[in-house]
Chains A and B, each alone.
Chain A
Amino acid sequence: MTAQAPTIEQNLLTQTLSRPSRSLWRDAWHRLLRNRAAVVSGIIILIFIFVGIAAPVLAPHNPLKVHDGKGYLPPAWVKEGPTGKSGDPAFPLGTDTLGRDVLSRTIYGTRVSMVVGIIPTIIILVIGVSVGLFAGYRGGRVDNLLMRFADIIYAFPDLLFFIIVMAALRETPIGRLLNGLLLLFVALSLVNWVGLARLVRGQVLSLKEKEFVEAGRMIGASSIRIMLRHLLPNTLGPIIVSTAFRIPGLIITEAILGYLGIGLRPATDPNAIFITSWGALMLDGQAALNSQPWVLLTPAICVALVVLAFNYVGDGLRDALDPRLAGTE
């Protein structure tokens, strides 16, 4: 551990001396590419996104097709499932209660779940980070006002807020857009940005008293520059961790909303864009745990993979963006 200290200093020295023209971000990108776990994880995420986009091509069956008499089939390699049926090579991961192909449903589920995980996260990041930075850095009245406003939103119980919003607005035209996804995005973002804003603000409050910020101010750097160049990179650790957690959190929230009967609207049209989600699959699987555990396992493994992938990418990003950690691996 202690041996690291000189390395960092040397690095900082070399950085400032030999590569003054390179931007922080480009530097970070290079460091990120050197992190093998992060690269592999990034590829996994890209694969999931690709699967989501190319679902109609990849899925062996139509995810809505009911195969009569083929319900409860275990995965192809299982000789005898809990209900006494054996696997069928036509359905590699088995079928659900109605005889719909689990693999195809999982593939289609990728689409909804990636969208539900990523889009609100972007909205949350943009709003949460900017409000948090601004409030924390400015302090005083602005901080007070923003944080008290945040208090009101924060004081709502998340789940309760979703339920009320969904129950109230679900049957309106807005609630019906994109199978109800739009309303879900808005509700999820509205509730979640506050937590992030508070987290960032907390970090900024402690950082802005630190020497490097003082130094930045002394040499006359603009507020925006200080926020973006000095404060933001230093708050990235918690932001990235919370984001890496938020994405699967959102995917699971969607599942829980389904459990409560206010999730995504199911599609019956085989050409619909959003048909099912991992969350919905997990629900099916949990309900029928005794007779078809694989319906639960498949989406659960997918969610776990996404979590791991985002974690590693997150770790990699943080390290890459942290100037003090530069080149330590």
Chain B
Amino acid sequence: MITYLVRRILWLIPVLFFVALITFTLMHSAPGGPWDRDLEARQVDKRTQELLNQKFGLDKPLFINLSGGNPFDSQFINYIWGAVRGDLGPSYRQRGQDVQDILFKPPEDKPFWYSKFGYSARLGILAVLFAVVFGIPLGVIAALNRNTLIDYFTLFISTVGISVPNFVLAIFLIILFASRLKLIRIVQQNWDSPGAWIIPAVILGFGTFAYVTRLTRSTMLEVMQQDYIRTARAKGLAERVVVIRHMLRNALIPVVTILGPALAALVTGSFIIEQMFAFPGMGRAFVTSITQRDYSMIMGTVLVYAFLVAIANLSVDLVYGILDPRIKVGD
């Protein structure tokens, strides 16, 4: 088990390396660069552009320096070398700030959870919690009451969840809760108040919630037909015990598979919430860095995400072993 774990963790290194390599190649093949601005603004003049390129080392070759000097003095190798030492480089658009500071450094005198990553992580966790806490029971209930009104209702809810993109869901919830019912404020004065988080978390987690509900229902139906359930019932176990100990535990395996990656996606995917609620998370950095060609920011955010996903997948594999002891993870 321990060797397995160590091996998996070591494997993270090549995974991250290849992710970096692919991202780097792709982003540099996109036309334009960090100094190409929105057309309505005045464009940076040629000389300034050269100066900026020199300043940030963007005048160097991409992969291998063939100019005669040090062959490793290239943009990619310099980046990797920096990243290994925990330096994700300076942002080209939010000048004066390093990528790791933008993502992970909280404002003065605040704890880590006030950094952009911290905000996104809190919101992502809340969203997944919402998806799990409501999705799994709803799925179980739907399965136990197959083809009844309750089942149809959950089908309706999850259909809404999947067919309405969250930028649409968000505006509807805002109109409903803020404009009509006057229950929340739209302009959040304060992300310290827990109430402010509810609607954003629901919007962010709704798609996952819908998916979890359907998946739980489906796997529950499957599990309900298994021999061991009949055996358990035959043994005269209480229905509650049968459902929780035998059915749910087995039904959870596919759900767990998607939850890890879903968490990683939600933590980094708060872009639309940020656009709508002025939420200080990291989703914006993710999306706008690409259109801005903020190279170091693109690399930084992709690597952070890749790391999260890799960790999430590793945890999923470990949880498999816990949920179903027959699976030999160590193979």
Contact = CB atoms under 8 A, between A and B. Distances in A.
A156 interface: yes
B257 A198 contact: yes
A27 interface: no
A312 B71 CA distance: 60
A165 B290 CA distance: 11
Contact of B254 (A139, A167, A199, A304): A199
A164 B159 contact: no
A39 to B, nearest CB: 15
A206 B324 contact: yes
Contact of B218 (A2, A140, A241, A256): A241
Contacts of A303: 163-164
A64 interface: no
A202 B320 contact: yes
Nearest to A301: B163
A256 B269 CA distance: 13
A289 B171 contact: yes
A248 B162 contact: yes
B95 interface: no
Contact of A238 (B160, B218, B268): B218
Interface string A213-247: 00000000000000000000000011011101100
A241 B215 contact: yes
Contacts of A158: 265
A237 B218 contact: yes
B29 A252 contact: no
Contacts, number: 165
Contacts of A300: 163-164, 168
Interface string B204-233: 000000110011001101101100001001
What's the dominant secondary structure at chain B's contact region?
helix
Given A139-B331, A238-B215, A261-B291, A252 B165 contact: yes
B290 A163 contact: yes
Contacts of A144: 331
A177 B142 CA distance: 44
B40 to A, nearest CB: 15
B254 A245 contact: no
B287 interface: yes
Interface string A55-84: 000000000000000000000000000000
Interface in A165-206: 165, 167-169, 171, 195, 198-199, 202-203, 205-206
B301 interface: yes
A159 B310 contact: no
Nearest to A319: B221
Given A139-B331, A206-B327, A209-B327, A164 B30 contact: yes
A25 B140 CA distance: 29
Give the most central of B162, B254, B305, B331: most A CB within 10 Å: B162
B236 to A, nearest CB: 11
B128 interface: no
Contact of B258 (A199, A255, A304): A199
Give the most central of A5, A169, A318: most B CB within 10 Å: A5
Contacts of A240: 218
A195 B163 contact: no
B177 interface: no
Contacts of A311: 155, 159, 214
Nearest to B171: A289
Give the size category of B's interface with A: 35 or more
Give the size category of A's interface with B: 35 or more
Contacts of B306: 155-157
Contacts of A2: 233
A92 B179 CA distance: 30
A286 B320 contact: no
B233 A164 contact: no
Nearest to B309: A155
A159 B254 contact: no
Interface stretch (A97-105, A123-131, A146-154, A267-275): A146-154
Given A151-B313, A157-B265, A160-B301, A245 B162 contact: yes
Interface string A290-323: 0000001000100110111001000100100010
Interface in B137-174: 144, 155, 159-160, 162-165, 167-168, 171
Interface of B: 11, 15-16, 18-19, 22-23, 26-27, 29-31, 144, 155, 159-160, 162-165, 167-168, 171, 210-211, 214-215, 218-219, 221-222, 224-225, 230, 233, 250, 253-254, 257-258, 261, 265, 268-269, 286-287, 290-291, 298, 301-302, 305-307, 309-310, 313, 316, 320, 324, 326-327, 331
10 contacts: A155-B15, A158-B265, A160-B286, A160-B290, A164-B30, A198-B257, A199-B254, A209-B327, A238-B218, A303-B164
Interface of A: 1-2, 4-5, 8, 139-140, 143-144, 148, 151-152, 154-160, 163-165, 167-169, 171, 195, 198-199, 202-203, 205-206, 209, 237-238, 240-242, 244-245, 248-249, 252, 255-256, 259-261, 282, 286, 289, 296, 300, 303-304, 306-308, 311, 315, 318, 322, 324-325
